[in-house]
Amino acid sequence: MKPTLRIIFPGLFTTIQDAGRYGFQRLGVSLGGALDPVALRAANLLAGNPAYAGAIEALYVGPTFAVEADDARLAFAGADAAIELLASADAVHGERIAPMQSVRVRRGQVVRIGSLKKGASLYIAVEGGFDIEPVLGSVSTDCRGKMGGWKGRTLAANDLLPLCRALATERDECRIEGLDLSPPQRFRTVLGPQNDYFSEAVIEGFFASEYTVSAESNRMGLRLDGPPLQHRHGFNIVSDAIATGSIQVPGGGQPIVLLADHQTTGGYPKIATVISADLPAMGRLPIGAKIRFAPTTVDEAARARRALNATLESLPGKLVRIAPPAAITTQLVECNLISGVHDAAA
């Protein structure tokens, strides 16, 4: 029988994502891809996969699924979440699993993930990956384009996600220590491309204001509540192309940061664009998060990008082997103690 993950409860907006679908935007095909590629890469590293293999992306509320393979190695990276390993679908309580680690799950066991905390996105990678045919070079789900990923849509109850491996490899489990996924104090932006649609005073106000991530946010864009940004001369432009991270300002003046699933083209002015090094952090902002923006230059953005790449390349050095099961309880206690001491000192 084909090894699968059987979805019992899909969560709020759960899709398969990889690094995205490059090269087809001229045809109207959105980029897509993981909102937080850093966490995607961490999950794949823990699972022993290539850096940007397709994984499950859960937003806000995680899925519940059963493992229908002899056994499988799963890895979780991203937001904090109550991840439980249950003996069966009927079990009420199970073993708690911390995010940022891998775990081996046997046939029939159920993984239940609750609401995500301190972050919007969680990645669930499975060793060997999902046996899904790429569309235009990517297994990312494009819900608007109805293609890629799992049937071009969000996961639903009773979906059977086919796995490439029927068995986990024999090795110890790992966790990642010291990867900081907290958002920056200020998201750095390059002005433009349509900053000339706003007065100097409005632009100053934009950088001086605090914005709150609205509940209407989705994979297309992060809608922000805050002081409205008034346009100097109208808010309709002749449609031009959209870059991921561009902050578009529709007629109402509430900005929208365009994320992975944004349309390829659009007709609202874009006041500034979040730099590529800060985009993964943008993709993990939960609803209600308070954020600020800062201006920067393209040269500074390139330095930030180099720093992000260095962080990504240092990830394997942050892998810590988890001692065999008998010692796990002690390890967790130690972890709690260490973070307790750290908090007390702060």
Give the interface with other proteins as residue ranges (CB under 8 A): 22-29, 135-136, 144-148, 189-194, 237-246, 263-265, 270, 273-277, 298, 301-302, 305-306, 309
The CB-of-236 to other proteins minimum distance in angstroms stands at 9
The CB-of-237 to other proteins minimum distance in angstroms stands at 7
Secondary structure letter of residue 72 according to DSSP: E
Q: Which is nearer to other proteins, 38 or 67 (CB)?
A: 38
The CB-of-290 to other proteins minimum distance in angstroms stands at 22
Q: Which is nearer to other proteins, 88 or 309 (CB)?
A: 309
Q: Which is nearer to other proteins, 73 or 270 (CB)?
A: 270
Q: Which is nearer to other proteins, 165 or 305 (CB)?
A: 305
For the stretch 94-118, what's the b/e string if a residue is b when 16 or more beta carbons lie within 10 angstroms of its beta carbon? Answer: beebebbbbbbbeeebbbbbeebee
Instruction: Give Cβ neighbours of residue 273 (< 8 Å, ≥ 6 apart).
Output: 189, 190, 192, 193, 243, 245, 246, 247
238, burial (CB in 10 Å: exposed 0-12, middle 13-18, buried 19+):
exposed
Instruction: Give Cβ neighbours of residue 182 (< 8 Å, ≥ 6 apart).
Output: 281
The CB-of-336 to other proteins minimum distance in angstroms stands at 40
CA angle 24, 123, 29 (to 5 degrees): 10
The CB-of-312 to other proteins minimum distance in angstroms stands at 12
Q: Which is nearer to other proteins, 251 or 317 (CB)?
A: 251
Dist. CA 333–CA 21, nearest whole Å? 42
Instruction: Give Cβ neighbours of residue 47 (< 8 Å, ≥ 6 apart).
Output: 53, 55, 73, 74, 75, 102, 125, 126, 127
Alpha helices in the chain (DSSP H): 37-47, 200-208, 279-282, 298-314, 328-345
Q: Which is nearer to other proteins, 212 or 263 (CB)?
A: 263
The CB-of-274 to other proteins minimum distance in angstroms stands at 7
Q: Which is nearer to other proteins, 23 or 114 (CB)?
A: 23
Q: Tokens at residue 216, please?
A: 């209407």
Amino acid in position 333: V
The CB-of-33 to other proteins minimum distance in angstroms stands at 13
The CB-of-204 to other proteins minimum distance in angstroms stands at 19
| Contact call for residues 206 and 293 (beta carbons, < 8 A) | yes
